[in-house]
Amino acid sequence: LLKVSDPDSLQEMASFAHGDSPITFIRFSPDSSWMAFADTSNYVYVLNFAIIEEPAPQPEDDDGSVEPSPPTPTWNYVGRVKSHTRAITGLEFTVREDGRLALVSVAEDRMLVEYDLSEATPETGFKLRGEPTKIEQVAVPTACMWHPLLGGDFEDRVVTANNEFKFKQWNADNKSCRRTSLCPTYGGPLTSLQTIPAINPERNQYGPSPYVLYSTAEKVVGIVKIPLDGNPNKAMGLIAHPTAISSVTVSSDGRYCMSAGGEDRCVNIWQISTKALDVKYEEAVTRAEGLGSASMYSELIDQEVKEDLIDYFYYAQLRTQGEDTMEERKITGLVPLKELPNLVRALGYYPSEEECANMIAEVYYANFTETGETCDTIDLDTFIKLYINHKPVFGTSKAEIAEAFDSIGKGSHMSWAKLVGLLKEKGEVMTEDDLKNIMKALLGKGAEDEINPTEIMTAEKFSDKILGFDEDVEEEKDLDIGLDETGVTGLSLAV
């Protein structure tokens, strides 16, 4: 049951018996004239605000006159849509750059859905705007928000966070991926994203700021600064609750954040100060002078890996001109974008073809939203940041291989011939030559011919015999929680 109360009198304005499923999200449009909520049955409901102009007259006064009742505010039920097949993890309104109201949702089914509210009425309901878009192959979206329009933007974007600690920015029209970057890792995956409002002195009203409030499923609330580029000096996090966080929100003036816990049964009010985060970032910029902006990411990459990265980058320049050329070498400091997949694979990161396309498109359109121009080469500084932002936070474990094995095989084991057939037919298919080259790299020349097609392959055997995992050592996945090394915070307990 959803109830709407008057904020002053707390009198009930409207109530809706939507069903038996608990409500997980409630969102209001920027002008508060629309409301949307989602439940655990994966339905999205929409209501709009209305004022009843012709209410019934009140009883006569002592002088015999009849006083009409004041207009009555209420909420009208518009309709509902079951837009996802798994749990909804994000639901957000915005007003697009062209003035159109927009509503999007993401869910564990890896779909991004936009809803058409342009002609939504209680009589006609509402519908989807275009087909749902699959935005992840393996990762699961855990939160979403609309990227604030801060000036100089040529496109509207939807920002999603996933369970692999990545932000992804999507063009709101064609749903192409514009950028991938690291999320803050002060705890688990992000489950809530909200722009912090700020006063606009020119209009004397509140609008978006370059700061985003986030929370995780347990313990942590923090702030990250836009642009979302994975820079660890532009984020902070602190322990707000001892266990689960059920909800967070920010005040309309951007001065306070309210967080609700779970088992602790506490609601905390935090005072927001973004100046501390600005100081932290400015100090990092000062330390990076003369070293390149990628030096601010140094804590996120091993020195040995960085040295290999630099070697491979310069080799890629030689390879582009031709390894055996007799002409004078031209070291421009730039590498064609087509070399990106080879470079990251040489460093031990093996992205899918879709992820490779996203990386190339990210660099190609890096300045498009500001200048309208594209770029077909990449420099070393940009490549270091691109690699850090795209590579997985954790390596692949045997447990993840077992999960993938069960997913494609619909069981815990299958014959080698069946596995090869699935690799050639499903997902991003492999050709016969692709498979031979991969097996040659893994097992040596001719070794793939020694595998009996009828041999039963389990996940463990596949990990040990084919991939060459020596021991079943799980990667440590406990992340640092709380303050970073500088002790910088942007939130302080107000109540």
Cα–Cα distance for residue pair 404/423, rounded to 1 Å: 12
Per-residue pLDDT, 338: 93
Per-residue pLDDT, 441: 78
Q: Report, in angstroms and rounded to the nearest whole number, the Rg of the chain calculated over CA atoms.
A: 27
359 contacts 399 by C-beta, under 8 angstroms: no
- Minimum mean pLDDT among 5-14, 73-82, 474-483: which range? 474-483
Per-residue pLDDT, 476: 42
Q: Find the angle CA(439)-CA(442)-CA(448) to the nearest 5 degrees.
A: 35
Per-residue pLDDT, 474: 44
CA atoms within 13 A on the CB side of 147: 24
- Minimum mean pLDDT among 26-35, 189-198, 360-369: which range? 360-369
78 contacts 121 by C-beta, under 8 angstroms: yes
End-to-end CA distance of the chain: 30
Cα–Cα distance for residue pair 219/240, rounded to 1 Å: 5
Per-residue pLDDT, 60: 57
Confidence of residue 158 (pLDDT cuts 50, 70, 90): very high
The most confident of the ranges 11-15, 48-52, 230-234 is 230-234
Q: What is the mean pLDDT of residues 190-212?
A: 84
Mean pLDDT across the chain: 85
The most confident of the ranges 36-40, 313-317, 352-356, 476-480 is 36-40
Per-residue pLDDT, 134: 96
Spatial neighbors of 7 by CB under 8 A, at least 6 apart, are none
pLDDT above 90 (res 481): no
139 contacts 358 by C-beta, under 8 angstroms: no
Amino acid at 41: S
pLDDT tens digits, 90-119: 999 999 988 899 999 999 999 999 999 988
Per-residue pLDDT, 66: 61
Per-residue pLDDT, 154: 73
% of residues, the chain, pLDDT over 70: 86
142 contacts 149 by C-beta, under 8 angstroms: no
269 contacts 495 by C-beta, under 8 angstroms: yes
Spatial neighbors of 28 by CB under 8 A, at least 6 apart, are 34, 35, 93
Cα–Cα distance for residue pair 26/1, rounded to 1 Å: 13
- Minimum mean pLDDT among 64-78, 294-308, 335-349, 416-430: which range? 64-78
pLDDT above 90 (res 143): yes
Per-residue pLDDT, 488: 53
Residue 380, phi then psi, degrees to nearest 5: -65, -45
pLDDT above 80 (res 193): yes
pLDDT above 70 (res 318): yes
pLDDT above 80 (res 408): no
pLDDT above 90 (res 391): yes
257 contacts 495 by C-beta, under 8 angstroms: no
Confidence of residue 475 (pLDDT cuts 50, 70, 90): very low
Confidence of residue 160 (pLDDT cuts 50, 70, 90): very high
Q: How many residues does the chain have?
A: 495
Per-residue pLDDT, 485: 43
Please report the sign of the dihedral spanned by the C-alpha atoms of residue 284, residue 290, residue 294, residue 298: negative
Spatial neighbors of 110 by CB under 8 A, at least 6 apart, are 134, 135, 136, 137, 139, 140, 141
- Minimum mean pLDDT among 261-265, 392-396, 482-486: which range? 482-486
Per-residue pLDDT, 482: 42
pLDDT above 80 (res 448): no
% of residues, the chain, pLDDT over 90: 48
pLDDT above 70 (res 163): yes
Per-residue pLDDT, 480: 46
